[in-house]
C-alpha cells in the first residue's frame, strides 16, 4: 500500500471561487478543522496578494502544528520573501512556487521564450530552496505543454532543489488516460524523477477532476491536490472528500491509503459550505444530503435485508451520524458544555458565558436545540466578533397583504453612533434592504439571496446567505437568527462589514 499525501487548497484555489471571500477568523477556523481532518499539507493562501492574505497565512502557520502549511508564490523574489515571512514560524514551512509552461501562456501571458521560462523557474527554485526546507514547483497549464519541454523544465527545477513537482490541469481540459500518460512520460524521461514526489492538481471544467486525479495516482503520483466540496475557480477543483473515500473504498484497486480521518469529512464539508456560502447539492457524492438516502422501494427493501446490497459507503464512515442528541430549555451549563466538547467545538470561558446565555434565550423559544443548531451558534459567536463595524440594534417590519411593507431599522455605526432609518418596498425583505441601504448612505446591489433552515422543524433557526456589491467589491454575508427577517438583516450587515474590513484590514489586524 502506498501512502498518498493530501494537499488541501480550499483556502487558496477554493477561495478563488466567484463571490467567496473568507475573513481572517473564518480561514483560521477552516484551517484548524483541516488539521483535525488529518490533512498532510494546507495551502493557506497567497501571502503576497494582500495584507489580509499575509496575516491569515501567518496566523495559520503559527497555529497549525500537525499539517505542513504552505503558501503560493509567483516566480518573483518579492512574492517568495512575503511567503517566507508568513510561513517561517510554521511547523514545516514549504513554498509552492509556480510559472506557466504551455505555449499559450508563454506567448500571450508571460511573453517569454521556452529558455526564459526555464531560467525564471530555476532561479526561483534556487532562491526559495535557500530559505524553505521544502519547495513545491508547479508548471501552470502543464497539460497543454509540449511533453519534451515539460520533462526538460522538470529536470531543471529538480536540479535546482524542488522536492515536489506538481502537474496542474489548470483549465480542466485533460482526460484520465492522457493525464496518466503525462505522469508515465515524466517518470520515464526525467533522469532525476526519483528524487521528488509527483503531485496531481485537477480542475473540473469537463467534470473529470476526480477521474483524472485517480488516473495520476495509478500512473505514479503520490500527492493529490484539491478542495473540500470541490470549490474553486470556475467549475472548481477535485473534491478531496471524494478522492479520499474513493481510495479507501477501492483500496483493493488503488493499493493506496491516506492519513485523513474520514469521520471528520462531514463536519469539514459543513463548515466550508457554511463559511463560503456555497451550498452542497443534495446529490453530491459523499457529503450531499441524499448521498445515503434510499428512495426506491426495491432499494429500501434490499437495504433492510442487507445494507451492502445498495450501500458501498456507510454514512458513519464519513461522520454522518444518526445520533439524535438534543438539548432543550432544561439543559444545564454542564450538559451544554459537554455536548460542545463532544462536537469538537473549542470555546473560551468568555465565549462559553455568552454562548450559554444565547442558548438559554433560544431554547426558550425553540423546543429542541440540535447539534446543527449548536455548531451554527458557536460559529456565529466565534466568527463575527472581529468584524462588527455596523451592528444591528433593532428592526421592526410591518407587512400586510393590503399595505405597503415598511421597515424601521436602528444600527450602531462604525464609531458607535446610532443610525435610524425607515423605508418601504414591494415586500418585507425589499423594505428591510432598502432601509439598510439608506443607513449605508451608499448604493448596495444585492446579487443573490438564499435562505436555509438549520435542521428541521417549524421553529428551526434561519440561516441567510447574501451576495452583494458594495463600494465596487463583490462580497458575501451570512446571518443566523430565529426569525428570517432578523437573519436577513444580519447577513446584509455581515457582507457590508466584510467590505469595510477588506478596504482597511489594518483597523482589525492591529
Ligand atoms: O490550477 C493551477 O494551475 C494552479 C496553480 C497555481 C498551481 O492553481
Ligand atoms: Zn488550480
Shortest-distance atom of ligand 1 to CA 237: 1
- State the average pLDDT over residues 76-97: 97
The residues near 186 (Cβ < 8 Å, ≥ 6 apart) are 150, 151, 154, 165, 167, 193, 198
pLDDT at residue 385, as a whole number: 66
Residue 138 Cβ inside 6 Å of ligand 1? The answer reads: yes
* CATH fold of the domain at 391-507: Double Stranded RNA Binding Domain (3.30.160)
Q: How confident is the model at residue 381 (pLDDT cuts 50, 70, 90)?
A: confident
Nearest ligand, measured from the Cα of 105: 1
The yes-or-no verdict on residue 289 having pLDDT over 90 is no
**In terms of CATH, what superfamily is 2-276?**
Aldolase class I (3.20.20.70)
Residue 137 Cβ inside 6 Å of ligand 1? The answer reads: no
Q: Which residue has the higher pLDDT, 292 or 241?
A: 241
pLDDT at residue 222, as a whole number: 98
Nearest ligand, measured from the Cα of 233: 2
The yes-or-no verdict on residue 73 having pLDDT over 60 is yes
The residues near 253 (Cβ < 8 Å, ≥ 6 apart) are none
The yes-or-no verdict on residue 236 having pLDDT over 90 is yes
pLDDT at residue 168, as a whole number: 98
The residues near 451 (Cβ < 8 Å, ≥ 6 apart) are 462, 463, 464, 465, 484, 487, 488
Query: Which residue has the least CA distance to atom 5 on ligand 1?
Result: 140
Residue 170 cell numbers, joined = 489548470
pLDDT digits (tens, 9 = 90+) for 393-419: 999 999 999 999 999 999 999 888 999
pLDDT at residue 293, as a whole number: 83
8 Å CB contact between 221 and 183: yes
pLDDT at residue 323, as a whole number: 55
Q: 121-135, 206-220, 309-323: lowest mean pLDDT where?
A: 309-323
pLDDT digits (tens, 9 = 90+) for 314-366: 999 999 876 556 788 888 999 899 989 888 788 899 999 999 999 998 888 88
pLDDT at residue 157, as a whole number: 98
8 Å CB contact between 477 and 495: yes
d(CA 399, CA 483): 15
Measured in Å, residue 140 CA sits from the centre of ligand 1 at 6
**Cβ count near 142 (within 10 Å):** 26
d(CA 339, CA 323): 12
d(CA 167, CA 141): 8
Partners of 481 in beta bridges: 462
Residue 132 Cβ inside 6 Å of ligand 1? The answer reads: no
Q: How confident is the model at residue 510 (pLDDT cuts 50, 70, 90)?
A: very low
Residue-range domain boundaries for the chain: 2-276, 333-384, 391-507
pLDDT at residue 6, as a whole number: 98
d(CA 427, CA 174): 48
What percentage of the chain's residues is helix, strand, coil (to nearest 5)?
A: 45, 20, 30
d(CA 305, CA 297): 12
Say what the alpha-carbon torsion angle 47, 50, 51, 53 is, to the nearest 10 degrees: -50
- State the average pLDDT over residues 234-260: 98
- State the average pLDDT over residues 216-231: 98
- State the average pLDDT over residues 48-55: 94
Measured in Å, residue 77 CA sits from the centre of ligand 1 at 19
The yes-or-no verdict on residue 180 having pLDDT over 80 is yes
pLDDT at residue 508, as a whole number: 47
Q: What is the mean pLDDT of the chain?
A: 93
Measured in Å, residue 234 CA sits from the centre of ligand 2 at 10
pLDDT > 90: what percent of the chain?
77
Residue 35 Cβ inside 6 Å of ligand 1? The answer reads: no
pLDDT at residue 486, as a whole number: 97
Residue 73 Cβ inside 6 Å of ligand 1? The answer reads: no
Residue 225 Cβ inside 6 Å of ligand 1? The answer reads: no
Q: How confident is the model at residue 242 (pLDDT cuts 50, 70, 90)?
A: very high
Best mutation site among 9, 13, 109 for ligand 1 pocket (most ligand atoms within 8 Å of CB): 13
Measured in Å, residue 4 CA sits from the centre of ligand 2 at 19
Residue 140 to residues 3, 220, 245, Cα–Cα distance (Å)? 25, 20, 27
Amino acid at each position: 500500500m502506498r501512502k498518498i499525501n493530501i494537499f488541501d487548497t480550499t483556502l487558496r484555489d477554493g477561495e478563488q471561487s466567484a463571490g467567496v471571500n473568507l475573513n481572517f477568523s473564518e480561514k483560521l477556523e477552516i484551517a484548524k478543522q483541516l488539521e483535525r481532518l488529518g490533512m498532510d499539507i494546507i495551502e493557506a493562501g497567497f501571502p503576497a496578494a494582500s495584507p489580509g492574505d499575509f496575516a491569515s497565512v501567518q496566523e495559520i502557520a503559527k497555529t497549525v502544528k500537525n499539517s505542513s502549511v504552505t503558501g503560493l508564490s509567483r516566480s518573483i523574489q518579492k512574492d517568495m520573501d512575503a511567503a517566507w515571512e508568513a510561513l517561517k514560524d510554521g511547523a514545516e514551512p514549504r513554498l509552492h512556487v509556480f510559472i506557466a509552461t504551455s505555449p499559450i501562456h508563454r506567448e500571450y501571458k508571460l511573453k517569454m521564450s521556452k529558455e526564459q521560462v526555464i531560467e525564471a523557474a530555476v532561479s526561483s527554485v534556487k532562491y526559495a530552496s535557500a530559505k524553505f526546507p521544502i519547495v513545491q514547483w508547479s508548471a501552470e497549464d502543464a497539460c497543454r505543454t509540449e511533453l519534451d519541454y515539460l520533462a526538460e523544465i522538470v529536470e531543471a527545477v529538480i536540479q535546482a532543489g524542488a522536492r515536489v513537482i506538481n502537474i496542474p490541469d489548470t483549465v480542466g481540459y485533460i482526460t484520465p488516460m492522457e493525464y496518466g500518460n503525462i505522469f508515465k512520460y515524466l517518470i520515464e524521461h526525467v533522469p532525476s524523477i526519483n528524487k521528488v514526489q509527483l503531485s496531481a492538481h485537477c480542475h473540473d471544467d469537463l467534470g473529470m477532476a476526480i477521474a483524472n486525479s485517480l488516473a495520476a495516482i495509478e500512473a505514479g503520483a503520490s500527492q493529490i491536490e484539491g478542495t473540500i466540496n470541490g470549490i474553486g475557480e470556475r467549475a472548481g477543483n477535485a473534491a478531496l472528500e471524494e478522492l479520499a473515500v474513493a481510495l479507501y473504498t477501492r483500496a483493493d484497486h488503488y493499493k493506496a491509503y491516506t492519513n485523513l480521518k474520514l469521520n471528520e469529512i462531514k463536519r469539514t464539508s459543513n463548515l466550508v459550505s457554511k463559511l463560503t456560502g456555497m451550498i452542497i447539492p443534495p446529490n453530491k457524492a459523499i457529503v450531499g444530503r441524499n448521498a445515503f438516502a434510499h428512495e426506491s422501494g426495491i432499494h429500501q427493501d434490499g437495504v433492510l435485508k442487507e445494507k451492502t446490497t445498495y450501500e458501498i459507503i456507510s454514512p458513519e464512515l464519513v461522520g454522518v451520524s444518526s445520533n439524535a442528541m438534543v438539548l432543550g430549555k432544561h439543559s444545564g451549563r454542564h450538559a451544554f458544555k459537554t455536548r460542545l466538547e463532544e462536537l469538537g467545538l473549542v470555546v473560551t470561558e468568555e465565549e462559553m458565558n455568552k454562548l450559554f446565555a444565547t442558548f438559554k434565550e433560544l431554547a426558550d423559544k425553540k423546543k429542541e436545540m440540535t447539534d446543527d443548531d449548536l455548531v451554527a451558534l458557536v460559529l456565529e459567536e466565534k466568527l463575527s466578533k472581529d468584524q462588527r463595524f455596523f451592528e444591528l440594534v433593532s428592526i421592526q417590519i410591518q407587512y400586510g397583504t393590503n399595505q405597503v411593507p415598511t421597515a424601521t431599522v436602528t444600527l450602531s455605526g462604525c464609531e458607535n453612533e446610532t443610525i435610524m432609518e425607515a423605508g418601504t418596498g414591494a415586500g418585507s425583505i425589499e423594505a428591510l434592504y432598502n432601509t439598510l441601504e439608506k443607513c449605508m448612505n451608499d448604493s448596495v446591489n444585492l446579487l443573490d439571496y438564499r435562505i436555509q433552515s438549520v435542521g428541521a422543524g417549524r421553529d428551526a433557526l434561519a440561516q441567510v446567505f447574501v451576495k452583494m456589491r458594495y463600494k465596487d467589491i463583490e462580497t458575501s454575508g451570512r446571518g443566523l437568527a430565529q426569525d428570517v427577517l432578523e437573519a436577513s438583516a444580519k447577513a446584509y450587515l455581515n457582507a457590508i462589514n466584510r467590505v469595510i474590513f477588506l478596504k482597511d484590514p489594518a483597523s482589525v489586524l492591529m
